């Protein structure tokens, strides 16, 4: 199996950088909700299973939606509007890219944005997405955080590559050079962790109830529901509230029932053999519908107390609000 280390540059409508509200409203009407970020460059490095480089892919993509370059994006990447005139459009470039990828590979990216935006762009352009559920990929930024005991930090590519002692001979924020930096970082990392701490893509959803399995991602379990037409249907779907032990997969009893926090729900459950687990539930939507994502982590007593305190604090806040 090969590793396809990918990096993208994208353009976005100009309104996000414009200060005064009048022009903001004007530009806002031009944002397309189905594709807020349009890919303008795809860069990738192909590594074989011994992490030797066996190929490179580097193409600009002629934009079809946001044809005017956002000046900030131009500034960061150095990409100018007049560079696109002889470039292929997304559909052509992505077809070339997927052909170049070959058959047996896993995608590697720095962070979780690229694969997400790639699929959004593919969907917008009505390209057939060749990846079926579950699509696992390797997020180097996440694994770097786990290896360095800071799982919630998102360090920049530049910081990580300097920290890992990668030779600094290319500019950042161009697709190929960022892919090369990511590949060089990978060569210096503990390879077992690429197998152990993979990430699950959330745009590809299970098609059936049977596909809604718990997937072990090294330090936690994840379960995705299939897509539903409305948020209410997801909330009423009882299976999303089950917590299973990440170790033995048995259903666990709740110690703290599900409660709503900002943008998510939390619970604590206990496995007789493996102790306390934190459940985190998100309800989201994408072009495949509304879905639930549940993550389960093994936790210690200290974390249990933090969650219990959080629940009490939110309850008190609600009480004060009601009395007002």
Provide the 10 A C-beta neighbour count for residue 312: 11
Tell me if 157 sits within 8 A of 181, measured CB to CB.
yes
- Angstrom CA distances, 114 to 38, 193, 219, stand at 11, 20, 22
Least distance CB 197 / Zn ion (angstroms): 20
Instruction: CB nearer to Zn ion: give 208 or 273.
Output: 273
Task: Give the three-class secondary structure for 293.
Answer: strand
Give CA–CA dist 206/229, Å, rounded: 14
Closest CB to Zn ion: residue number: 245
Least distance CB 272 / Zn ion (angstroms): 7
Give CA–CA dist 200/244, Å, rounded: 18
User: What does residue 282 show for φ and ψ, rounded to 5 degrees?
Assistant: -115, 140
Instruction: CB nearer to Zn ion: give 123 or 274.
Output: 274
Return residues touching Zn ion (CB under 5 A).
Answer: 245, 247-248, 271, 273-274
Least distance CB 244 / Zn ion (angstroms): 8
Least distance CB 274 / Zn ion (angstroms): 3
Q: How many residues does the chain have?
A: 324
First-residue to last-residue Cα distance in the chain: 61
Instruction: CB nearer to Zn ion: give 253 or 321.
Output: 253
Instruction: CB nearer to Zn ion: give 28 or 251.
Output: 251
Least distance CB 296 / Zn ion (angstroms): 11
Tell me if 58 sits within 8 A of 43, measured CB to CB.
yes
Instruction: CB nearer to Zn ion: give 46 or 294.
Output: 294
């Amino acid at each position: 199996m090969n590793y396809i280390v990918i990096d993208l540059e994208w353009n976005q409508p100009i309104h996000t950088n414009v200060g005064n509200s009048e022009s903001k409203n004007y530009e806002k009407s031009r944002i397309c909700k189905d594709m807020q970020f349009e890919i303008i460059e795809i860069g990738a490095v192909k590594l074989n299973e011994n992490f030797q480089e066996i190929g490179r892919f580097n193409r600009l993509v002629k934009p079809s939606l946001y044809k005017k370059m956002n000046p900030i994006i131009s500034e960061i990447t150095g990409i100018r509007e007049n560079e696109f005139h002889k470039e292929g459009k997304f559909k052509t470039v992505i077809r070339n890219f997927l052909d170049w990828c070959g058959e047996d590979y896993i995608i590697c990216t720095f962070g979780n944005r690229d694969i997400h935006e790639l699929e959004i762009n593919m969907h917008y352009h009505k390209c057939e997405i060749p990846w079926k559920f579950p699509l696992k990929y390797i997020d180097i930024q996440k694994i770097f955080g786990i290896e360095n005991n800071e799982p919630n930090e998102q360090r920049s590519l530049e910081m990580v590559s300097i920290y890992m002692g990668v030779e600094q001979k290319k500019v950042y924020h161009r697709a190929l050079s960022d892919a090369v930096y990511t590949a060089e970082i990978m060569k210096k990392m503990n390879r077992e962790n690429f197998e152990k701490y993979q990430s699950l893509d959330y745009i590809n959803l299970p098609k059936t109830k049977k596909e809604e399995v718990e997937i072990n991602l090294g330090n936690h379990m994840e379960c995705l529901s299939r897509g539903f037409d409305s948020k209410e249907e997801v909330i009423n779907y009882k299976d999303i509230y089950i917590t299973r032990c990440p170790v033995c997969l048995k259903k666990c009893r709740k110690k703290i029932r599900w409660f709503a926090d900002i943008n998510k729900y939390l619970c604590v459950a206990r496995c007789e053999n493996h102790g306390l687990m934190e459940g985190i539930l998100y309800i989201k939507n994408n072009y495949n519908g509304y879905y639930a994502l549940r993550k389960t982590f093994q936790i210690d007593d200290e974390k249990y107390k933090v969650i219990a305190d959080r629940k009490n604090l939110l309850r008190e806040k609600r009480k004060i609000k009601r009395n007002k």
